[in-house]
Every structure is written in structure tokens, then in C-alpha cells.
Homo-oligomer: A and B are copies of this chain.
Amino acid sequence: MSYTAEIISVGTELLLGNITNTDARDVSAMLSELGINVFFQTVVGDNPRRLKNAVNIARSRADIIITTGGLGPTYDDLTKQVIAELFGKKLVYNESEGDRIKKYFRERLKTDDMPENNLLQAMLPEGCTVFCNDMGTAPGCAFEAGGKHVLMLPGPPRECVSMFRKCAMPYLSRLSDGELHSHIIHIVGMTESAVEEKLTDIMQSLENPTLAPYAKEGEVTLRVTAKAGSADEAERMMLPVIENVRSVLGDVIYGVDKENLESAVLELLAEKGKTLSTAESCTGGFIAKRLTDVAGASRGYLGGVVTYSNESKTKLIGVDGDLIAEKGAVSCEVAVEMAKGVRDRLKTDIGISVTGVAGPDSDEKGTEVGTVYIALADESSVYCKEFHLGGERTRIRTHASARALDMVRRYLSGLDVI
């Protein structure tokens, strides 16, 4: 049978617009992986009467009710009390959760002064399945009553998502016997619609495993999900799908189950024992920022320059001023000199450079907005590629930085660079 779920997010701060309901989005996406339909999401404040109203409506139209939020220790955290009352469950003190909360205060928050009301968080519906919280104090839980499954998760996004993956997914996948496993395929250098067009037949023909795209700024990701009797079986089912996608898309796939493109590039640098430097004009430090977002980036990324003016290209990395005057700052020739210049100054194995027009205005030569040159220099060679990127300033900068990182990836992987 196919189950339907409703998500009820509890918190007045959501109704005031102070925070974004990422929990509903993330839980929905994970339910979708499980093949469980979500027909409604509801947001309600920290008010027992209105929360009852929302739960009663959800009970009338869904098989599974999932709440996020309202499990904290303060007087306005009411989710467990309201749900327990509506489903005729007593709240009982769970000793091992109580001990875990005390330990959390002692060890992680380094205090013996735990406010007593924190132990209210260890009060759970009798006979429930306890969901342990690795990242905070409030445990979650699940129970079945009156033919409905009720799951309660904490509100803080990290806690909610981590608990859903670790505890709620196994609980829910048991409902439909079989366990779910998935892999993420990462793609760069192709638009989401181009990816979908190439894969539409595969996606539509698949039922288990499933294959679904997720757009990400400047990249595309595909999630392969299999339901099987065991992890090994799921792996055996997913492998041919991944191979099939690889054979269709080829080397625009930069990895499976990677953190992101910048991490993948840093991993490749470490693997090949190479170092990188950057010279950025229109991306203005965006590539450097992305690389240094990753802890430990300094092992492969040594630094770079942001040459946002013509003079800075000359002063920092010795690009010939006459060349800039003749060819324009936005040209393959200048991109090449930038990549060579920064590589030479920083004595790295590879130098990568970007120069282009991010908009909203064209440059003084009337170069079209979105024109971007990316160059890569190594000890003996230099490559340069021209791009015409669509959209506004932010999109152009994001895509230009992704394309530059991709050029480094292709170079280090021994693929065609341009």
C-alpha cells in the first residue's frame, strides 16, 4: 500500500516569518525518497488549541503525521502534551533519555547546573519508539495509534534532518518492508533541463531504484534510491543505474556522494599532490571563498589574487598593460596571462583565472554581459575557454566559479580541459 503523510511544523517564529521552514522542505524530500506521498504541510504556532485543530485535520486526511518543533524544555513547547492527549497516550519518564540529557549538559555544555525542566524532554508517550538526538537534548519519538503513525521530531534543522535520516527513515521504511538506500550523482557543466532531457526515458522507466534530479546553484545532482531487503541488495540494484547514467552523461559527472565541487577539486589536488592558485576578475574572490569554505583547503590551495581593476592585474601578477589596452581586460589573451602570472608568483603547479562581464552593464568595449574567459596554466601548457553565461550578476558569478573549478577538475582527472 502507498502511505500518505502530513507534516505539521510547530512554532510561532515560523508564523512571524522570523525563520524559514527548511524542516518541512527537507522532511518532504526525504519522504519522497521513501515513496511516501505528502499532500499537505501545515505550520501552526505554539498554541495548544490551534495545534489540536491542525492535528485533528491531519488525522482525517493522512496515514502518517510528522511534527517538527515544540519539543524543547520551555512552557511554550507543547507538541508532546497535545499529541499524547489527542491519541490517548500517557507521557512517562524515560530514564535512559533523562540520563543522556544530564550527560549532554555535563559533557557538551560543560555545566552541572542543568535547569530541572530540561528533564521534561525525557517525558515520552508510553510504548513509543525513541528517536535519539545526536545533536541536541530533545529526543524524538514515534508510535502507532488508531491506525495512524505519529512521529515527533525536534525543530532545529540540523537535529531534525539528522534524526529523520537516522531514526525516522528506518522506522518508516519498515512500514513498507524493505530498506532504502541512496547515492547522489554530482554533475557540473550541464543545465538541469539538459540533464533531464537526456535521462527522461531512464527516469520514467525506473520504479525501483528511482532516479530524481535536484537542482543546485551552478550544478545538478541526481539521487538514486533503491528499496531492498538489505544494503547489499540495494547496492547491487543501484550500481547498473549509476553506470547507465555515467554512460549517458559521461565526464560531466564529477563524482558520487561528494560534498561539493570545491571539495572534489581539493581531494583531487591532494590525490595528485598538486597545488593551485587563483586569479579572479569578474568572480572577485568567489572561487577562493568556495575553496577556503572547506576546512583543510590550505593543503592544495595556496592563495590567489582578486584583480578587479586593470592596474591590479599588472601590479599583482604582471599582466602587460599594453596587452590589456589592445585586447581588452575581458579576453582570452588576458585570461591566459592572469593564469600564468598567478601560477608564477605563487609557484603552484596550476594557476586558474577568470575574467568576464558579470553585469548589469557591459564593459567599455561593449562586451556582452555573461561573456567569461577561463584559463588554466601548468608548467608547460595553457588552456583558455570562452563562455556565454545567462542570467543576472549573481548567477553569472556562481556559474563562472563553478566552470573554473570544473576546469581544474577536468585537468587533474586527465579529461579534455576545453
Contacts and interface: CB of A to CB of B under 8 A. Distances in A.
Q: Looking at chain A, what size class is its interface with the partner chain? A: 35 or more
A21 B25 contact: yes
Contacts of A287: 285
B345 A295 contact: no
Given A286-B289, A295-B361, A315 B24 contact: no
A39 interface: yes
Interface string A213-228: 0110000000000000
A86 interface: no
B50 A44 contact: no
A140 to B, nearest CB: 19
A297 interface: yes
A309 interface: yes
A84 interface: no
A402 B16 CA distance: 26
A393 B57 CA distance: 42
A24 B43 contact: yes
Given A16-B29, A303-B316, 8 more contacts: A15-B40, A15-B41, A17-B25, A282-B292, A283-B289, A286-B289, A288-B308, A293-B393
B304 A285 contact: yes
A14 interface: yes
4 A-B pairs closest in CB distance: A284-B292, A17-B29, A285-B288, A285-B285
A34 to B, nearest CB: 12
17 contacts: A15-B40, A17-B26, A17-B27, A17-B29, A19-B25, A20-B25, A40-B43, A40-B50, A41-B43, A280-B288, A284-B297, A286-B289, A292-B308, A292-B397, A303-B308, A305-B316, A316-B345
Copies in the assembly, this chain = 2
A317 to B, nearest CB: 9
A291 interface: yes
A339 to B, nearest CB: 15
A306 B303 CA distance: 5
B54 A40 contact: yes
A205 interface: no
A244 interface: no
A307 interface: yes
A353 interface: no
Among A16, A305, A315, A397, the one with the most B-chain Cβ atoms within 10 Å of its Cβ is A305
Interface string A1-38: 00000000000001111111110111111111000001
A347 interface: yes
B50 A30 contact: no
A360 interface: yes
A17 B28 contact: yes
A327 interface: no
